[in-house]
Amino acid sequence: MTRAWFAGEAPDFRRRGFWLVLAFLAMAVAVFARLVDVQMLQGKALAAQAAAQHTSSITLHGNRGLILDRDGRVLASNKTVYDVFADPHLIDPGQRSAVADQVAPILRVNRAGVMRALQQPNEFDYLAKGVSQDIEVKLQSLNIPGIGTIPTQQRVYEPSPVPGTSFASTLLGFVNHDGSGQYGLEQYYNDQLAGSPGHSSTLTDILGNPIILSGQQHLDAHDGVNLRLGLDSQIQYWAELALAKGVDDAQAASGTLMVMDTHTGSIRAWAQYPSYDADNYAAGTLANLRDLAVSQPYEPGSVMKVVTFAGGLENRAITPSTVIDERQSVVDGVLIHDWDSRSHGIVSMQTVLDDSLNNGAMKVEQMEGQSAFYGNLLDFGIGAPTGVDIAGEHTVAVPAQASWRDINYATASFGQGVVTTPLEMLAAINAVGNGGVWVQPHAVDAVVDPTTGQATPVTPHTRRVITAATASTLAHMMVGVVDDRGAEGFNAQIPGYKGEIAGKTGTASVATSSGYGGDVIASFAGFMPVNNPQFTMMVILRYPQENRMPRFGALLAAPVWRDVARIIIDQWRITP
Amino acid sequence: MATRVGAVDSPGGGWRAAANIASRALAAADRASAAAGVDGWLLVLVLGLVAFGLVMVYSASEALGYLWTGNPNYFFEHQLIGVVLGAVGFAVAVRLDYHRLRALAKPAMALMVAMLVVVLIPHIGSEHFGAQRWVQLGPLSVQPSAVAVVVSIIFFARWLDQRGGAVRSMSGVRDYIIVMGVLLALILAERDLGSSIVIAASGFVLLALGGALKRHLLVLIAVLGVGGYGLVTLVAYRAARLAHFLNPCADALGSGFQNCQALLALGSGGLTGVGLGNSVLKYEWLPEAHTDFIFAIIGEELGLIGTVAVVTAFLLLAWRGIRASMRAPDRFGALLAGGITAWICIEAFVNVGAVTGVIPTTGIPLPFISYGGTSLATSLVGMGILCNISAQGRRHGAVHRAGVDRWGRDWRAPDPGAGPGPSPAGRRSRR
């Protein structure tokens, strides 16, 4: 029986068995081919896709470094704030109205806006950004599913006495929502302040929980450095107030006030008005965010005569007692005016400086010679960046000497037709106070390691531009500008400090497309005490509407200079 | 063997150890086939697959066990119960003369049908992942459809053996199909497409081995193909699975999620794998990582070498199974052996094919390896029966069956386990 049925009933049993083996072989071959395809040919791509899904990598942010004043007072710091978001998918549609009722008052936002966000088909909608910790705590205590918070670091600045602005705003700059510094020191030192981010990556299960036994890759974040400024907060405080008052009194468009340590170049005060609130920078206008002191070149006007006189004295073309016949003259067909539009006859060089006589300054340039004059301009850093550590320095180079005509030399001698930034001009005047050595202005005195506390001092560039003797002679001539009878700088006089204050006024006509119009930029730059200056200060008022006349424009800036100088004298106990 | 595999630490050493184990296993197979009546190849393949399965179940389920029950060994321990029950079942089946299954076929089928009906009654059968498949028997949850496969193979092998030549007639095939259809309908009512496919395919193989006419078989293939396709597209979730089985990652977050994760696991493994125990996808990324999709974890941890080894093991099992069928002492034995071999190998293909994206996913375990006691135990019982048939075939010394090719040439070497048989000259005559 066992043999018979093969032949009789299923003669092709073996053949069918053979086919069955073939069928299984075919299945195996199909699987083998697919396995080679998936595991070898597509293996790398699939492995990468798998790694992307189950490798969780988070960026660790270091704390942004602090900015401190010269006494260690914190000017810019960080606080944790919270972005509040909703995941509408996790909120029952019937509950959304109730959730909006609960959340809106806590966040102090419009209920309709919350409702709108809750009805989005997204899985992530911001309800509020940058809310404080106590609001976050209140929100968490409600324990509403689908409402979450993300902690973020926010930069915090100090208030300014001037409403609507923050303390030293243009000097410090601000940090935008992406954590990147904008303007001022925050931008210039952004990389150092930000530190280096670390990261941590680990394998996770589907819920994002790390797999404990898996290898982790970890790189620590490093906190950013702290910056210790030369800024004197006391001086800065009063400087901001005084400048704002000066700008308002003069009905000027804007004002700039800079104070630097004459010998070290360290910036002690740095004010701009109008300015902005760095804690709420988005509300500020773009024009107010710009630091005009470094980024807005202007024709400095008569303040430049200090540089002209320095060249003349250094090249022995003049002495303070040199006498000239001062008269309004024509250069290249252009009549050079004095401020009172008259000639002054036989005057000494001291009088030329005291009364800010343009034709006199032009005489100095002519006596000195064009090449020496041009070289002296460059020596004083006119048209060159100071290299100050404040973002956005923008200068206009002095045109090549070959292109200069007589009229260019003539006007440059009294600060017209050549442009500088306010800071360039301050640094040039400061060189006179510093015994003839130009010193680079700088805001940061030292970079401080946050962990070790080790401070790396900043050393500014210096270069001698005139001899100490020339500088001393010129400084004492500048004292005359303040003290001499009838001289322009009398507004800078401070009782008890006669003979100590060296300064120079400037009233620059502002060029328009059709020549010089009625607008002026009034300025006063000076240093004191003259024999060992402690500070150099410059005040600039742009487009004052009060006292628009050329002579009196200069009268506007000097009182601001004087008011702040008094504060500095008090604070630093400068004795006559 | 399990401890040996578990103890290897470096992949290179692992493969050397595996090769060592394999060569020893082959030697053991030779010895076993020479000494005992049991086919050593089959024995080693089954033991190897079960041991390997235990290791893989432990590796794939450790995290899940901890997350779901707090016990990382939870699934491993439960699988051990299945191994013990299966081993007992295997030992009994090896010793039990398979002819006695004839008498069991009808009552077992009746009980089976009853259980399948019972499972459908609410509160008795429990629903799990959209499929109503389990029935609770004390502490054990039993999956009747998994038992149904082995019962139906015994039943239909007996049916075909008893009816003999009737299968060559239209009416014989028709009756067979009607009975089979009723059974399939019951299992489909449990939404267990995987078991239905395995039963239908094994039933078809039995019918073919039983001698049904070629034209009937071809018509049946066409009908099954169209019917299967219709069935698949009728059920929405299967249609979605079907649409994406070739490129599951196109809908990686939807219906293609599981299959896409399986491909990611296989791809992550590359040639040599990330190392035993080092799978990441088993951390809840790949659903059913320890059951239906354990092959993907094998691919991730042991690479192409591991997956090819597993598929090769099933291919060898197919060869030994069909060889046993060819050499069975009688028609019932031949059909039973063929049916069991078809069942295990088709189940393996349906599983592996789904994991690798060769065919759509139907939800069926990988025999011997996937977590699941019922499937493991019934598979082992099936293997026990197969070994018994193979052993009886050898003892019977039935030389004419598989060794002689269709042209009557005998290409076999003398079978050392065959005992005294006809002289070589006698073997040449076919009748």
Distance between B287 CA and the closest CA of chain A, angstroms: 10
For position B152, what pLDDT does the model report? 93
On whether residue A174 sits in a domain, the answer given is no
On whether residue A85 sits in a domain, the answer given is no
How many angstroms separate the CA atoms of B119 and A365, rounded? 112
Radius of gyration of chain B (CA): 22
Residue to test with chain A: of B300, B356, B400, B430, most A Cβ within 10 A: B356
Rounded alpha-carbon distances, angstroms, from residue A526 to A257, A258, A492, A537, A561: 12, 11, 9, 6, 8
Q: How many residues does chain B have?
A: 431
Other CB atoms within 10 Å distance of the CB of residue B70: 8
For position A546, what pLDDT does the model report? 67
Angle, CA of B99, B380 and B129, to the nearest 5°: 125
Angle, CA of B35, B41 and B46, to the nearest 5°: 115
Tell me which chain A residue has its CA closest to the CA of residue B284.
A206
pLDDT of residue B115 exceeding 80:
yes
How many angstroms separate the CA atoms of B65 and B77, rounded? 10
For residue range B67-109, what is the model confidence (pLDDT) as tens digits? 888 888 999 999 999 999 999 999 999 988 999 999 989 999 9
For residue range B209-218, what is the model confidence (pLDDT) as tens digits? 888 888 888 9
For position B406, what pLDDT does the model report? 43
Distance between A14 CA and the closest CA of chain B, angstroms: 7
Asked if B205 and B339 count as a contact pair (C-beta separation under 8 A), the reply is yes
| A 9-48 residues inside an 8 A Cβ radius of B | 9-10, 12-17, 19-21, 24-25, 27-28, 30-32, 34-36, 38-40, 42-47
Residues 6+ apart with CB under 8 A from A4: none
For position B13, what pLDDT does the model report? 53
Residues 6+ apart with CB under 8 A from B146: B195, B372, B374, B375, B378
Q: What are phi and psi of A160, to 5 degrees?
A: -105, 150
On whether residue A197 sits in a domain, the answer given is no
How many angstroms separate the CA atoms of A504 and A548, rounded? 19
For position B408, what pLDDT does the model report? 45
DSSP annotation of A303 reads G
CB contact under 8 A, A20 and B398: no
| Residue among B280, B338, B431 minimizing CB distance to A7 | B431
pLDDT bin (cut points 50, 70, 90) of residue B15 is: low
For position B189, what pLDDT does the model report? 83
On whether residue A69 sits in a domain, the answer given is no
How many angstroms separate the CA atoms of A68 and A322, rounded? 49
SS3 letters for chain B? Answer: CHHHHHHCCCHHHHHHHHHHHHHHHHHHHHHHHHHCCCCHHHHHHHHHHHHHHHHHHHHHHHHHHHHHHCCCCHHHHHHHHHHHHHHHHHHHHHHCCHHHHHHHHHHHHHHHHHHHHHHHCCCCEEEECCEEEEEEECCEEECHHHHHHHHHHHHHHHHHHHHHHHHHCHHHHHHHHHHHHHHHHHHHHCCCHHHHHHHHHHHHHHHHHCCCCHHHHHHHHHHHHHHHHHHHHHCHHHHHHHHHCCCHHHHCCCCCHHHHHHHHHHHHHCCCCCCCCCCCCCCCCCCCCCCCCHHHHHHHHHHHHHHHHHHHHHHHHHHHHHHHHHCCCCHHHHHHHHHHHHHHHHHHHHHHHHHHCCCCCCCCCCCCCCCCHHHHHHHHHHHHHHHHHHHHHHHHCCCCCCCECCCCCECCCCCHHHCCCCCHHHHCCCC
Total domains, chain A: 1
Residue ranges, chain A, pLDDT below 50: 1-9
pLDDT of residue B284 exceeding 70:
yes
Q: Is A483 helix (H, G, I), strand (E, B) or coil?
A: helix
State the average pLDDT for chain B.
Answer: 80
Q: Return the closest-CA partner of residue B248 out of B239, B258, B237, B238.
A: B258
Q: Return the closest-CA partner of residue B203 out of B384, B346, B364, B381.
A: B346
State the DSSP H helix or E strand holding residue A432, giving kind and residue range, or none if neither: helix A422-433
Output the DSSP codes for A520-566.
Answer: EEEEEEEEESTTS--EEEEEEEES-SSS-SHHHHHHHHHHHHHHHHH
For residue range A304-344, what is the model confidence (pLDDT) as tens digits? 999 999 999 999 999 998 999 888 888 888 888 887 788 88
Residues 6+ apart with CB under 8 A from B280: A50, A54, A203, A211, A214, B268, B274, B300
| Residue among A9, A14, A30 minimizing CB distance to B406 | A14
CB contact under 8 A, A6 and B311: no
Tell me which chain B residue has its CA closest to the CA of residue A209.
B283
Asked if A319 and A451 count as a contact pair (C-beta separation under 8 A), the reply is no
How many angstroms separate the CA atoms of B420 and A575, rounded? 131
Residues 6+ apart with CB under 8 A from A174: A155, A157, A181, A182, A183, A184, A186, A278, A279, A281
Q: Is A352 helix (H, G, I), strand (E, B) or coil?
A: helix
Residues 6+ apart with CB under 8 A from B358: A30, A31, A34, B352
Residues of A within 8 A of B406 (CB-CB) are 12, 14-15
List the beta strands (DSSP E) in A406-486.
Answer: 437-439, 444-448, 455-457, 462-464
CB contact under 8 A, A53 and B314: no
What CATH number does residue A342 fall under?
A: 3.40.710.10
Q: Is A514 helix (H, G, I), strand (E, B) or coil?
A: coil
Asked if A243 and A270 count as a contact pair (C-beta separation under 8 A), the reply is no
CB contact under 8 A, A46 and B329: no
Higher pLDDT, B3 or A441: A441
CB contact under 8 A, B270 and A20: no
| Burial of B136: CB neighbours in 10 Å, binned 0-12, 13-18, 19+ | exposed
Residue to test with chain A: of B349, B409, B410, most A Cβ within 10 A: B349
Sign of torsion over alpha carbons A281, A283, A287, A292: negative
Asked if A14 and B402 count as a contact pair (C-beta separation under 8 A), the reply is yes
Residues of A within 8 A of B65 (CB-CB) are none
Residue to test with chain B: of A3, A14, A38, A44, most B Cβ within 10 A: A38
Residues of A within 8 A of B322 (CB-CB) are 17, 20-21
State the DSSP H helix or E strand holding residue A131, giving kind and residue range, or none if neither: strand A125-131
Residues of A within 8 A of B330 (CB-CB) are 1-2, 5
Asked if B181 and B152 count as a contact pair (C-beta separation under 8 A), the reply is no
Residues of B within 8 A of A214 (CB-CB) are 280
What whole-number percentage of chain B has pLDDT above 90?
36
| Mean pLDDT lowest among A167-171, A359-363, B15-19, B235-239 | B235-239
CB contact under 8 A, B269 and A31: no
pLDDT bin (cut points 50, 70, 90) of residue B135 is: low
CB contact under 8 A, A34 and B319: no
How many angstroms separate the CA atoms of A377 and A373, rounded? 6
On whether residue A266 sits in a domain, the answer given is yes
Rounded alpha-carbon distances, angstroms, from residue A386 to A70, A263, A264, A441: 22, 16, 14, 7
Which two tokens mark B376?
């493991």
pLDDT of residue B9 exceeding 60:
no
State ipTM. Answer: 0.82
CB contact under 8 A, A32 and B308: yes
Residue to test with chain B: of A24, A37, A42, A54, most B Cβ within 10 A: A24
Distance between A52 CA and the closest CA of chain B, angstroms: 11
Number of CB pairs, chain A paired with chain B, less than 8 A apart: 162
Which two tokens mark A499?
């003979």
Which two tokens mark A13?
């049993």
On whether residue A289 sits in a domain, the answer given is yes
CB contact under 8 A, B211 and A9: yes
Helix extents (H) in A119-264: 133-142, 169-172, 184-188, 190-194, 233-249
On whether residue A281 sits in a domain, the answer given is yes
Pairing of strands A217-219, A226-229: unpaired
Residues of A within 8 A of B269 (CB-CB) are 39, 43
For residue range B218-233, what is the model confidence (pLDDT) as tens digits? 998 898 888 777 776 6
For A448, left (φ over 0), alpha (ψ -120 to 50), or beta? beta
Which two tokens mark A153?
């670091």
On whether residue A346 sits in a domain, the answer given is yes
Q: Return the closest-CA partner of residue A364 out of A399, A326, A333, A402.
A: A326
pLDDT bin (cut points 50, 70, 90) of residue B14 is: low
Residue to test with chain A: of B358, B394, B405, B407, most A Cβ within 10 A: B358
For position A106, what pLDDT does the model report? 86
Structural domain containing residue A245: 233-572
pLDDT of residue B401 exceeding 60:
no
